[in-house]
Structure 1
Amino acid sequence: MTQLTVSPDKRRKIIEQFFPDPHQHAAIYKDLHRHPELSCQESRTASIVSARLETLGFEVQRGIGGHGVVGVFRNGEGQNVLLRAELDALPIKENTGLPYASKVEQIDADGYQKAVMHACAHDMHMTCLLAVAALLRDAREAWSGKLICLFQPNEERLLGARAMVDDGLFWRIPFPDVCLAQHGVPTKSGTIALKPGRVLGYLHSLDVRIYGRGTHGATPQLGVDPIVLASSIITRLQSLVARELDPKEPVVITYGSFHAGTDASIIPDYADFKLDVRTFSEKTQQLAVAAVERIIRKECEVSGAPIAPRLATVVSSPAIDNDEAATSAFADVLETYYGDRASEVIQTMPLDIVADDFVLLAMPPGVKQIPYVYWNIGVTDPETWDEANRDGKLRDLPCTHNATYAPVIEPTLRTGIEALALSALTFLELR
């Protein structure tokens, strides 16, 4: 993986001359936003992106690791550059008030029908990648190499990247020299944030079942109440952060789901909850996960649970550490491209304790890790962000995984297209 030295104006000319139709891609964005699909159910979305890639002349493969789609544009000798976007949406009922808001409902993996929404900007990520595919296809006389556009399923559950790799991804495509991805966040639209080194954290997600002994609600002494026990565990686990782990090491333990029982008068046989453990340090992550499992098992034991708890690891994802050389090369290209505006557009990406399984696309089994760069683009209307910043109310802006989260189309779309195109043009050979 190398950056190629070219005239400072060459990339600018490519972007300006071949920038794709913004109205067409705004329409694509609205369609994707209006028709979200849950993880492992992204059939319509996959069909939309694969049809568009085929129209652009890409070699397209579908159904990789689920509904994963990969398009390859072979354009002579040069490096193999992989760009990633995500297909899936979230089980959230949209409350943005947009004319293109989602009204979709789907039956989720747990058997329940749920409202569905793109509340994590995956619709914007896909639109930007499709636009860059068009831009670089049209500019094919100006570069050489192989462009790999990958649309990953099941990212929200952090299982799609591994599924694609396990399904032979690296046997199906030219082996990448560099992997690139961006993510929309609720910062000021028109900005790009990146930095070398660690930018995202570790994640370990558990499904837990606590067993009790069912009885009438009027005779709790005859049973073991799994709701009280599970509630006690949930409260007790927060003491890990306060009392067991190093206060200099950030740790987040979150419970996003709790289900138990059928009626107020019935103490049920079990209670289920889901939890995430997130940190920035591998050692701290291991300590935290071990402590979580220890506390759950011991609380059940001392409470007289008739069966040991069931703990199932749903996903375990490593941290994201941007490659130093690749990130520096991309940052230099951004600085040159934006020139006098660089200080207002380019920011330092803050360390964020969220996780993304993009990193697994750069970790093929039995092979040295592929260099990768992951960065953020802002999606919040600039005037709205400036006002909130002046009033000290940035925390009140809609955040990801929220029913009111809605990227402003412009300048988000233009900035996302520029950033993704420039990232590819950092490593493709320019003619």
Structure 2
Amino acid sequence: MAFTHTLRRRLARATGLALTLAAVPQVAQAAPLDPVAARAAIDAQLAKIYPSLDALYKDLHQHPEVGFQETRTAALLAARMRALGFTVTEHVGQTGIVAVYRNGDGPVVLVRTELDALPLEEKTGLPYASHAQQTIDGKLTPTDHACGHDSHMAWWVGTAQTLLALKDKWHGTLVFIGQPAEEKAGGAKAMLADGLFTRFPKPDYAFAAHVGPDVAGHVTVKQGAVSSASDSVIVTFHGQGAHGSMPDKSIDPIVMGAHFVDDVQTVISRQKDPQKFGVITVGAFNAGFVPNIIPDTAVLKLTLRSYDPDVRKLLLDGVGITARAVASMARAPEPGVDHTEATASVVNDPALAGQLAGILKTALGENQVALVPAMMPGGTASEDYSEYVNAGVSKSVFFGVGGSDPAMLARLKAEGKPVPVNHSPFFAPQPEPTIRAGVETLTLAVLGVAGN
């Protein structure tokens, strides 16, 4: 998900904004953390382990697996974590893994990575590019880590390894989870339904990070809403089939669908507050097979995006009301309106985000870290990490980490060409600065809440 690039762009557009860390609410720590010394210790560890993280990253990149099929990926990470000394449980939420490490009394801290890739053919031309395929819906399909979850897994393992090397500097319990099927927006729910917060220690804090097309190594910390809520809806119009030469003998579901596609946008343009974010997109319209037959049904698939819970309800209600009104106007049976997938907006704890941004700025440098205030909108992509927060982890921060080669960004800007973003077949984060920044960010976050 391309959160970081969007948030930085919006921050740059804000004029007259002078946000100082002194103005940000702070979370009390048990003891002061020296961010500069902590980063030096982290980087000393990274100097030893980075070659193994790079090899892991390229292995994962060449062997991508889609949601709930991540068997090789999960087994590989489980073996790594066991070797470090974690107690590992596999097959949580089908293909998820949970790794627990206890280091005395202290908070329980969850760190999450995603395991899954996308059904997409890679076109980067990298020497370690994916040529893998998996059977998806009965069809052999190319797969690619075009969202960057391979970077996430590498920095997740690196963070675990670094925290264990520095375990005299923190106390508490680590719960590292490898989540399946983020792209399906079902993996987090599957892990929670399988007892993530009952079979294992329930976290006091939770952290995750996502790579994006910003400059490699840059970190974005957003207060408040980070991502949009996502709702998938299938609308089925039921008509009456007839020959194309006798439309009066039909109830045409294609005409109903066409009316719906147009009319449902008035929910956005005439019912939603124009100052609040909301999107209704019809991504699929399937009806009929031949030109001279009016079909019985038309099936439309929609995605809805929003931040505000009231706007989210408005969009969902508006889709149903519009679909039923269109069917009624055509004297057709009531349509099917099925809410198939849903995930809420990811919302960072503002005070904790401000505290950790201060630590990161001191450790990594003012120019390497952007703190985006809650008053500014988040990204428009979606993330099911929100399920953990909504299940009771109030103290949570989801970070953005840049992955793009700065020279490439400059060249594309000069040429007036778009930057490859997450889910593009050309998306190719720079491994070393990206993984290093992820390890530094997540390790400093854990030390910030569990440090001595």
Corresponding residue of 1:308: 334
Cα gap change, 1:225/1:379 in structure 2, threshold over 3 Å: closer, same or farther?
farther
Q: Give matches, 1:12-411, under 5 Å.
A: 12-19=39-46, 20-108=48-136, 110-305=137-332, 307-338=333-364, 341-346=365-370, 348=372, 351-364=378-391, 369-389=393-413, 393=417, 396-411=418-433
Q: Does the 8 Å contact 1:176/1:370 carry over to 2?
A: no
Counterpart CA distance in 2 for 1:126 and 1:259 is: 37
Counterpart CA distance in 2 for 1:138 and 1:406 is: 30
In structure 1, which of residues 418, 421, 427 is the aligned counterpart of residue 443 of structure 2?
421
Q: Does the 8 Å contact 2:33/2:448 carry over to 1?
A: no
Q: Does the 8 Å contact 1:61/1:69 carry over to 2?
A: yes
Counterpart CA distance in 2 for 1:120 and 1:193 is: 17
Q: Does the 8 Å contact 1:191/1:347 carry over to 2?
A: no
Q: Does the 8 Å contact 2:354/2:371 carry over to 1?
A: no
Cα gap change, 1:135/1:280 in structure 2, threshold over 3 Å: closer, same or farther?
same
The CA deviation at 1:424 is 1.4
C-alpha deviations, 1:111-150, integer Å up to 9, x for none? 5543322221111111110111122222223332211111
Counterpart CA distance in 1 for 2:140 and 2:339 is: 24
Report the secondary structure of 1:402's partner residue: coil
1:285 is matched by which residue type in structure 2? R
1:318 is matched by which residue type in structure 2? A
The CA deviation at 1:60 is 0.5
Q: 5+ residue gaps in structure 1?
A: none
The CA deviation at 1:8 is 4.0
Counterpart CA distance in 2 for 1:271 and 1:174 is: 47
Q: Does the 8 Å contact 2:78/2:97 carry over to 1?
A: yes
The CA deviation at 1:179 is 0.4
Q: Does the 8 Å contact 1:79/1:429 carry over to 2?
A: no
Counterpart CA distance in 2 for 1:371 and 1:133 is: 20
Between 1:283-292 and 1:342-351, the stretch displaced more is 342-351
Q: Does the 8 Å contact 1:14/1:142 carry over to 2?
A: no
Report the secondary structure of 1:200's partner residue: coil
Cα gap change, 1:392/1:154 in structure 2, threshold over 3 Å: closer, same or farther?
same
Counterpart CA distance in 2 for 1:64 and 1:72 is: 13
Report the secondary structure of 2:226's partner residue: strand
Counterpart CA distance in 1 for 2:66 and 2:287 is: 24
2:421 is matched by which residue type in structure 1? C
Cα gap change, 1:257/1:147 in structure 2, threshold over 3 Å: closer, same or farther?
same
Q: 5+ residue gaps in structure 2?
A: 1-26
Report the secondary structure of 2:233's partner residue: strand
Q: Does the 8 Å contact 1:257/1:273 carry over to 2?
A: yes
1:328 is matched by which residue type in structure 2? G
Counterpart CA distance in 1 for 2:422 and 2:156 is: 20
Kindly tell me the number of residue pairs found equivalent between the two proteins.
421
C-alpha deviations, 1:275-294, integer Å up to 9, x for none? 11111211121112111111
Counterpart CA distance in 2 for 1:55 and 1:256 is: 45
Cα gap change, 1:26/1:257 in structure 2, threshold over 3 Å: closer, same or farther?
farther
Cα gap change, 1:94/1:284 in structure 2, threshold over 3 Å: closer, same or farther?
same
Between 1:311-320 and 1:259-268, the stretch displaced more is 259-268
The CA deviation at 1:85 is 0.8
Report the secondary structure of 1:21's partner residue: helix
1:5 is matched by which residue type in structure 2? P
Counterpart CA distance in 2 for 1:232 and 1:428 is: 56
2:51 is matched by which residue type in structure 1? H
The CA deviation at 1:332 is 1.8
Counterpart CA distance in 2 for 1:127 and 1:217 is: 57
Counterpart CA distance in 2 for 1:91 and 1:123 is: 15
The CA deviation at 1:206 is 0.9
Between 1:67-76 and 1:383-392, the stretch displaced more is 383-392
Q: Does the 8 Å contact 2:93/2:190 carry over to 1?
A: yes
C-alpha deviations, 1:222-281, integer Å up to 9, x for none? 333333432332232223222232211121112333333333444332222321111121
Percent identity among equivalent residues? 36
Counterpart CA distance in 1 for 2:153 and 2:242 is: 51
1:10 is matched by which residue type in structure 2? A
Report the secondary structure of 1:90's partner residue: coil
Report the secondary structure of 2:155's partner residue: helix
The CA deviation at 1:347 is 5.0
Report the secondary structure of 1:229's partner residue: helix
